[in-house]
Structure 1
Amino acid sequence: MNRIKRLDESILVCVYYGLNGERLIRRGHKLATLLDCPLYILTVDSKPIDNFDAEKSGYIERWTQLADELQVEKFIICDNEKRPIQKVVADVAKKYGITQIIVGQSAQSRWEEITKGSFLNVLLKEVPFADFHIVAVKRPIEEEEYGTFEKGVRAYVIRDEENYKIVFTCPKVEYLEGIFFKEIGTDFDNGIFKFSYENKMNEVAIKEGFVSNPHLIHSILSPIH
């Protein structure tokens, strides 16, 4: 039987696209577990969700899976949002009785609507009733991992005789869908292919359009054939 969570505390994690999102969510979950209280996740975008590119859609998909995995109270997606982000955060915080908010240290440069001043200072004025937790973003790691790759694009891996290759239009045969990050400065399709399988993010290396180590892909696609 599920325990009834405390209602005197409630945590909101604000995430934006990038590697730090999952780290923030897990930090929020750890704190919510310690306090035995509800956890909410919020992301805001000025574009409609139907217009998100492959990279953004990939993050939304991963965060949705993570929210389910961690039994988050609610994953709130405010798309097609024209209001300033601090107003959205304030409204969500009031609606759900939020007492603690977790944001990334570099949020003021990522959340494009905040153009002047500190994002935290703006939020403090809008949400004076909540405590804030600022989680440092490990930019060097992010740059090291993705700095040599182009922006991710939606891609598909399909069987090609005994190998597996990457294509960029939805195939009519069985496929594995994910996001391809191409190495900068190469004329070939070299890079990494990231995909979700069994509620986990996985990645395989791509060399000249083919999966370098196909064992994982084979175990997923081979039962279909």
Structure 2
Amino acid sequence: MTEHTMICVKHGQNGLGFIQEALTHIEDEHRLTIYLFDNMACEEDHEHRIVGMSLFQKLAEKHSADLLISDGRALTTAKRLAETAKEIGATHIIIGEYSEGLWRKFLGRSTADHLTDHLPSTQVKIIPPDHAHEDAEWTFEKGMDAYLYPNNDGTYLLDFHHDTDASHEGVFFKHRHTDFNNGRFAFYDENDICEANVKKGIVHELTDHFEHFA
């Protein structure tokens, strides 16, 4: 029987970091599915739903994983996870604790309890927040698709319009309470998810690998 692990993750600032952590708990020979919850439910947030999605897609491709996308309404999470796990034949499920509070509050039981009841032959592993980086302070606004353009002095100009001169494409997360384009630019570089500091719309170095975007 082929072992099949389903990583359940929410879209947003912590999603990529959660996947990276979850991968350390999986044997190499496991088939892999990443089940991504789009947790931006408001209509006014519709344009932000695809922001950064390419990073999830490329991370899935890197690890030869199937990528499934669903909405992220917390009270339907466990039911959808169980149904999907059955459909794809998952033998292992990895989840974070992001929806546990709501499930315990309204239903008196956890997501893990529900999954264990409905999938008795499937192993369920919970990664606690301190390992999944879900308790990290997030001081950025919503991500925006952005591009870098090289300058003659070796720096890069951040811009939100794309043309063929762009050297990198990714997602810009602006620091809150700033009038300038100060923040972090997350992008995919060869086999790594990387970041760079942005100060007043300029990137001086592309050396920061996956760190705060986790």
CA–CA distance in structure 2, aligned partners of residues 139 and 133 of structure 1: 13
CA–CA distance in structure 2, aligned partners of residues 90 and 180 of structure 1: 34
User: Is the alpha carbon distance of 1:107 and 1:84 closer, same or farther for their aligned partners in structure 2, counting shifts above 3 Å?
Assistant: closer
Q: Percent identity?
A: 26
Question: How much does 1:21 deviate?
Answer: 4.3
RMSD of Structure 2 on Structure 1 (CA): 3.6
TM-score by length of structure 2 reads: 0.73
1:128 aligned to which of 82, 104, 120: 120
CA–CA distance in structure 2, aligned partners of residues 116 and 151 of structure 1: 29
Query: 5+ unaligned residues in a row in structure 2: which ranges?
Result: 209-214
Cα pair 2:5 2:33 within 8 Å, conserved: yes
1:223 — aligned with what? Answer: none
TM-superposition CA deviations, 1:54-76 (whole Å, max 9, x none): 6x531x3223222222233x222
1:38 aligned to which of 31, 36, 59: 31
**2:14 maps to 1:14:** no
Cα pair 2:175 2:182 within 8 Å, conserved: yes
1:95 — aligned with what? Answer: 87
SS in 2 for 1:122: helix
Q: How does 1:1-225 map to 2 (within 5 A)?
A: 6-7=1-2, 9-17=3-11, 18-24=13-19, 26-28=21-23, 30-33=25-28, 36-45=29-38, 51=46, 53=48, 57-58=51-52, 60-72=53-65, 74-78=66-70, 84-108=76-100, 116-117=106-107, 118-138=110-130, 147-160=138-151, 162=153, 163-168=155-160, 170-172=161-163, 174-175=165-166, 176-213=168-205
Cα pair 2:51 2:144 within 8 Å, conserved: no
User: Is the alpha carbon distance of 1:142 and 1:94 closer, same or farther for their aligned partners in structure 2, counting shifts above 3 Å?
Assistant: closer
User: Is the alpha carbon distance of 1:23 and 1:157 closer, same or farther for their aligned partners in structure 2, counting shifts above 3 Å?
Assistant: same
1:3 — aligned with what? Answer: none
User: In proportion to residue count, which structure has more helix?
Assistant: 1
CA–CA distance in structure 2, aligned partners of residues 204 and 121 of structure 1: 40
**Would you say how many aligned residue pairs link Structure 1 and Structure 2?**
199
User: Is the alpha carbon distance of 1:191 and 1:143 closer, same or farther for their aligned partners in structure 2, counting shifts above 3 Å?
Assistant: farther
Cα pair 2:103 2:111 within 8 Å, conserved: no
Cα pair 1:86 1:126 within 8 Å, conserved: no
SS in 2 for 1:138: helix
Cα pair 1:45 1:80 within 8 Å, conserved: yes
2:211 — aligned with what? Answer: none
SS in 2 for 1:187: coil
1:222 — aligned with what? Answer: none
Question: How much does 1:52 deviate?
Answer: 5.4
Cα pair 1:12 1:28 within 8 Å, conserved: no
Cα pair 1:84 1:113 within 8 Å, conserved: no
Question: How much does 1:29 deviate?
Answer: 6.1
Question: How much does 1:143 deviate?
Answer: 5.7
TM-score by length of structure 1 reads: 0.70
- Structure with bigger gyration radius: 1
Question: Bigger relative contact order, structure 1 or 2, given CA contacts below 8 A and separation 6+?
Answer: 2
User: Is the alpha carbon distance of 1:184 and 1:140 closer, same or farther for their aligned partners in structure 2, counting shifts above 3 Å?
Assistant: farther
